[in-house]
Each structure stands twice: as structure tokens, then as C-alpha cells.
């Protein structure tokens, strides 16, 4: 039996208040986490649409983004990488769906670790003109951006450039896959007409691993270089040659048939006039 019953009652009341406060605090934290999670997709979309063009020197758009806390993934919809000025198609790359698996802790660090990147059903437009093509132009812009960032670490720069260099996060991608893509070609030999072919599957690993992370421009350059390698692969050019050969043959056959039809009409008219 307690010697101080009043003290026990007070202790119980204080304990209840502490437990209640902890429960309320936990609920508030959970609510804030849920709110932050719900806003993360919107923030990511805003970041891509706002800072993407600055990093990649071309039009960059992201339609929507959803984040799953349970699986640690983000799904991006309707991603667009625009062409530079001077090309007929507005986009070099358009992706319907892109799923990214990432490390939550890396979001707080300078290098963001992406465990997996799955790009499905991309539409790639390749256009060749005046001794160059749209992919070479984009890669040249990305390379220039990477060189500027490298020199920024060794040479004095303006305050704005220093802020951009120090605030840019790096990316480390362990596994990237591209599948079910469509390649549209606009070449001089196609006479300005588009020809569509299936894009071969692409698998890249450990992007940025050698340097402990790479800039968004460097990662984009690596992905476009892999796509460019597939575009210029002999299998693509061989398929294109066969398609153009078939097209030319059909055109020649159609022309021959048309010529026969004209000759037949001439013979008919001649016979009619001679009667």
C-alpha cells in the first residue's frame, strides 16, 4: 500500500498526458509524411519541367508523376525530350511510362541512387540533315554542359554559376532498361518521309558509378549514346535498305502497270480512229 496515494494519482495523470502527447505527435508526423509523399510527385514534376531545360539545353516536359512509399518507386508519365531548333519533328524522344526504383536515404545526399529505371514504349525520332543529325546536336549540347561543369570546379565563375554547380544533384543508376520502343527515321534517302521500325532493347548498368555519380546531362548523354548506337547499327540500316528496296520495286511495278494502261488506251483510240 502506497504511503503517498495522492502522488500516485498525479503520476498516473502525468503519464497519461505524456502518452497522449506522444500519440498526437506521432499522428502529426505521420500526417506530414503522408502530405510530403503526396506532394513529392508534384515537386518532381515541377523540378523536371523547370530545371530540365536548363540542364539539357532543350525542351523537357513531364506530364505527371506518382510515388509509392511501400515499393520505393516513382512512375513518370509522358516524358518528352525536345529536338533542338532546325528539325522537322518537335521531339527527339517521348516516353509513355518510366518506372524508377530509388533509395530514400540518397534523396538527402548529393548523389541520388536509382536502383532501377524501366523505360517502356519510347518513341524515338531520328532525323539526318546537312551532314549531321538531331542526336549528334543533342549530344554536343550535353557534352558542352558537362565540360562547363568540370571547368567550374577549377576556374573562378560567377555567383550564379557557382550556385548552379553546387546545387546540382548527381545520379547513380544501377540498372536501366529500355523496351518496346518505336524508331522513326527521317533520312535523305526516304525523301522526307518517315519510316518506322522497332527499337531494339537497351540495357545499361552502373551509370555514373566510376565518378560516384554523374550530372543529369551526362546521364542523358549516356542514354542517348546507347540509343544512337542502336540507330546506327548495321541491322537497322540493313532493314531500312530492304524496306526502301521493296518500296522502290513496288513503285517501279506501279509505274510499269500505269505505262501499260496508257499504251492500251492509245492502241484502243488508234483502232477506233482507223475504222
Say if 173 falls within a structural domain. yes
Say if 140 falls within a structural domain. yes
pLDDT greater than 50 at residue 118: yes
In this predicted structure, what is the pLDDT of residue 134? Answer: 92
Say if 245 falls within a structural domain. no
Distance CA 134, CA 81 (A): 12
Q: Where are the alpha helices (DSSP H) in 62-167?
A: 134-152, 159-167
pLDDT in tens, 217-243: 889 889 999 999 998 888 776 777 777
Say if 153 falls within a structural domain. yes
Say if 251 falls within a structural domain. no
Say if 240 falls within a structural domain. no
In this predicted structure, what is the pLDDT of residue 208? Answer: 92
Distance CA 268, CA 247 (A): 32
Tally the residues of the chain: 275
Distance CA 117, CA 95 (A): 12
SS3 104: coil
Domain extent at residue 154: 5-232
Closest CA to 184 of 100, 97, 84, 83: 83
Instruction: Provide the pLDDT confidence category of residue 164 given band limits of 50, 70 and 90.
Output: very low
Say if 248 falls within a structural domain. no
In this predicted structure, what is the pLDDT of residue 109? Answer: 85
In this predicted structure, what is the pLDDT of residue 55? Answer: 79
Say if 254 falls within a structural domain. no
Closest CA to 80 of 64, 92, 68: 92
Distance CA 161, CA 1 (A): 74
* Number of other CB atoms surrounding residue 54 within 10 Å: 13
- List all residues 6 or more positions away from 52 whose beta carbon is below 8 Å from its beta carbon: 60, 61, 62, 216
Domain count of the fold of the chain: 1
The model carries a pTM of 0.68
Amino acid at each position: 500500500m502506497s504511503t503517498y496515494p495522492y502522488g500516485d494519482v498525479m503520476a498516473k495523470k502525468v503519464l497519461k498526458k505524456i502518452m497522449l502527447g506522444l500519440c498526437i505527435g506521432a499522428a502529426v508526423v505521420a500526417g506530414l509524411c503522408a502530405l510530403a509523399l503526396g506532394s513529392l510527385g508534384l515537386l518532381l514534376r515541377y523540378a523536371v519541367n523547370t530545371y530540365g531545360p536548363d540542364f539539357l539545353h532543350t525542351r523537357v516536359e513531364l506530364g505527371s508523376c506518382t510515388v509509392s512509399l511501400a515499393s520505393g518507386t516513382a512512375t513518370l508519365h509522358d516524358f518528352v525530350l525536345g529536338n533542338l531548333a532546325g528539325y522537322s519533328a518537335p521531339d527527339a524522344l517521348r516516353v509513355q511510362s518510366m518506372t524508377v526504383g530509388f533509395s530514400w536515404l540518397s534523396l538527402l545526399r548529393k548523389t541520388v541512387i536509382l536502383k532501377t529505371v524501366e523505360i517502356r514504349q519510347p518513341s524515338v525520332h531520328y532525323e539526318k540533315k546537312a551532314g549531321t543529325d538531331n542526336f549528334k546536336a543533342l549530344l554536343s549540347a550535353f557534352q558542352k554542359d558537362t565540360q562547363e561543369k568540370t571547368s567550374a570546379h577549377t576556374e573562378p565563375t560567377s555567383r550564379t554559376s557557382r550556385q548552379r554547380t553546387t546545387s546540382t544533384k548527381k545520379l547513380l543508376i544501377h540498372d536501366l532498361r529500355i523496351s518496346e520502343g518505336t524508331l522513326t527515321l527521317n533520312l535523305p534517302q526516304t525523301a522526307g518521309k518517315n519510316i518506322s521500325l522497332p527499337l531494339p532493347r537497351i540495357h545499361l548498368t552502373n551509370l555514373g558509378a566510376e565518378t560516384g555519380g554523374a550530372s543529369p546531362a551526362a546521364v542523358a548523354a549516356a542514354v542517348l549514346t546507347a540509343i544512337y548506337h542502336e540507330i546506327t547499327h548495321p541491322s537497322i540500316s540493313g532493314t531500312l535498305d530492304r524496306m526502301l528496296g521493296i518500296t522502290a520495286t513496288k513503285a517501279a511495278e506501279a509505274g510499269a502497270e500505269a505505262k501499260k494502261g496508257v499504251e492500251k488506251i492509245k492502241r484502243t483510240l488508234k483502232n477506233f480512229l482507223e475504222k
